[in-house]
Amino acid sequence: MKAQEKNTTKIKYIIYENNDTELLLNCEVKTECKIFHTDIPIGMLSFVRLFEKRENGNDEINLIAEKLFNTGYPINHVSPKNILNIDLIFNNNIIIPTSKRLNKSA
């Protein structure tokens, strides 16, 4: 298994609450020297756009959507790794908008 590169975000779980307009991404964010575990809210359209430039993006988003939205539960969560059999990793600049990045403190 390949180690996660610096300045990337690995999506561990995707959480959806029925009738909500955003998803919650449970992530592992790797910076230059640390790994942080956090939840990132993201709009549906922004989430879909993450997949636009991926080689199998359309297939990936369809598989995730099928598992995430087609249940009778009020709150649903899926693991992209379990669905796609790969780690779902994006560059931090893509997944964390500049305006939402936390400032580093001394």
Number of domains, the chain: 1
Full-model pTM? 0.85
Asked whether residue 97 carries a pLDDT value surpassing 80, the answer given is: no
41 inside domain: yes
pLDDT band at 84 (very low <50, low <70, confident <90, very high): very high
1 inside domain: no
The tens digit of pLDDT for each residue in 1-36 reads: 567 888 999 999 999 999 899 999 999 999 988 999
99 inside domain: no
69 inside domain: yes
74 inside domain: yes
DSSP string for residues in the chain = -PPPPTTEEEEEEEEEETT-SEEEEEEEEE-SS-EEEEEEEEEHHHHHHHTTTSTTHHHHHHHHHHHHHSSS-SEEEE-HHHHHSS-EEEEHHHHS-GGGPPPP--
Q: What's phi and psi for 48, nearest 5 deg?
A: -60, -40
3 inside domain: no
The more confidently predicted of residues 86 and 71 is 86
Structural domain for 66, as ranges: 8-91
